[in-house]
Structure 1
């Protein structure tokens, strides 16, 4: 039988053990904010369908950030 991925890719990054859930969520929120800023900046340098695609991606990133922020708010953490 042929495996879909004969040699799984090597993971270059890992998350250190022992980090609290709240710290992970804060880092996630900050990472999403950075990704959103980068995608919006790049989108405004483009035109046409590529701009629309990148703005759509920015909206998905923003949605993920809102979800992470909600979890932080519910857990009593301050966001941004």
Structure 2
């Protein structure tokens, strides 16, 4: 029978860590607590700069945002049903469950839109 997993590397072939002061997993719990807390403090002191790659215009009104969400949920619902039609068994059942969650979310968003701009 063929072995499916490769042998681990020999210890003689393993390369040494670049930093001689680097810790192994066995040594990590015994490191100086003050050093760990200072690292955390430095991270928290760094100002947070949010990514601007994908942002929503802050001037867009709630009704427009909800309309976009409603359309996105409807599209995701259609895609999910399309894929579910090609599946069988538990995969199909899982996709139908996702579709149901998307439909409930879409109904909730549409209800919120109706409350913002009631049709009289």
Q: TM-score band (shorter)?
A: 0.7 to 0.9
Q: In the alignment, is residue 41 of structure 1 matched against residue 79 of structure 2? A: no
**What is the rounded CA distance, in whole Å, between the counterparts of 1:41 and 1:11 in structure 2?**
33
Larger Rg: 2
- Among 52, 62, 74, the residue aligned to 2:103: 62
Q: In the alignment, is residue 27 of structure 1 matched against residue 68 of structure 2? A: yes
> Which residue of structure 2 aligns with residue 16 of structure 1?
57
Unaligned runs of 5+ in 2: 1-35, 41-50
- Of structures 1 and 2, the one scoring higher in RCO (CA 8 A, sep 6+) is 1
> Which residue of structure 2 aligns with residue 6 of structure 1?
none
Shift of 1:14: 1.8
Count residues in correspondence: 72
Tell me, what secondary structure is at the counterpart of 1:17?
coil
Provide runs of 4+ in structure 1 moved above 6 Å.
none
Contact 1:22-1:77 at 8 Å conserved across structures? no
Alpha-carbon RMSD: 2.1
**What is the rounded CA distance, in whole Å, between the counterparts of 2:73 and 2:53 in structure 1?**
20
TM (normalized to structure 2)?
0.54
Shift of 1:77: 5.6
Unaligned runs of 5+ in 1: 4-9
